[in-house]
Structure 1
Amino acid sequence: MINRDVVFPPGRRALYEKNHYSPAIRSNGFLFVSGQVGSREDGSPEPELATQVRRAFENLNAVLHAAGCSFDDVVDVTVFMVDPEANFEKVWAVVPEYWGAAPYPTLTAVGVTWLYGFQFEIKVIAKLPDSGGA
């Protein structure tokens, strides 16, 4: 069995253990972060889309920070949206608050029909700062 180097953000370990997944894994100089949604501390979704997107980024930033990273270390982003035709512009109005400066990471946006009660999810791969090289 692989010994996974798991990263847990403060205060949310029980939520990840309840749902049987790791928030992030360090491997070969990279941090692979599981999809982060706009969940409150108890795991319930924020009801309003912009608030949900902000909370998803705050949850993502907590995971990145726990690993010694920031959004500036992110090299690849995948976002999932329910009803992207209706929600894309609303989501992208919030993203610059958290995204960082150019050059931006790569991005894949995927429209989905269901996200377990959420409307937005973001997962990333970040280069660990102490792993050297670009």
Structure 2
Amino acid sequence: MTTRDVVFPSGRQALYERNRYSPAIRSNGFLFVSGQVGSKEDGSPEPDLENQVRLAFNNLNAILGAAGCTFDDVIDVTVFIVDPESTFETIWKIVPEFWGNAPHPTLTGIGVTWLYGFQFEIKVIARLPETVQG
């Protein structure tokens, strides 16, 4: 069995170990990032939706940075939104703060009914820069 090349952001390893998943795995020149939510350091949800979305992106950026990437390296995005009909506009006005300029990554948006107390989750696949592909 191949050992997974796991990427942990600073200060959150215990949270991932407690929940039994890897925040990201490097494989074949790509970084596969688990869904990130707007969780505080203790894992609890940020109650304000706009701040929760910002915190989800900040948590995502911490993982990307730990792998030597930025959001510019992201090629595919999947977002999960609770009650998108009522929350989409609030969420999507935050996205440009983090998204960058065109051309943008591919995007799949999925409406869900439950995210463990969160309202927004983002998972991505990024291309690793050649200097960190190993």
Per the normalisation by structure 2, the TM-score is 0.97
- How many residues are matched? 132
Report runs of 4+ in structure 1 exceeding 6 Å deviation. none
Distance in 2, matches of 1:36 and 1:10, equals 15
How many angstroms does 1:117 deviate by?
0.2
- Superposed counterparts of 1:23-34, under 5 Å: 23-34=23-34
Partner of 1:43: 43
Q: Shift in Å at residue 130 of structure 1?
A: 1.0
Give the deviation of 1:2 after TM superposition. 2.4
Measured against aligned partners, the alpha-carbon deviations of 1:28-73 in whole angstroms (never above 9, x if no partner) come to 0000000000000000000010000000000000000000000000
CA distance in 1, matches of 2:82, 2:131: 35
Q: Is the 8 A contact 1:30 1:125 kept in 2?
A: yes
Instruction: Give, in angstroms, the shift of residue 14 of structure 1.
Output: 0.2
Q: Which residue number in structure 1 is paired with residue 91 of structure 2?
A: 91
Determine the structure 2 residue equivalent to 1:62: 62
The sequence identity of aligned pairs, in percent, is 76
Q: Does 1:118 align with 2:115?
A: no
Q: Compute the displacement of 1:131 (Å).
A: 6.8
**Structure 2: runs of 5+ lacking an equivalent:** none
Residue 29 of structure 1 contacts residue 131 of structure 1 at CA under 8 Å; is this kept in 2? no
The answer for the alignment partner of 1:80 in structure 2 is 80
Superposition CA RMSD, Å: 1.1
Query: Normalized against structure 1, the TM-score is what?
Result: 0.97
Gaps of 5+ in 1: none
Q: In the aligned structure 2, how far is the partner of 1:128 from the partner of 1:74?
A: 9
SS in 2 for 1:94: coil
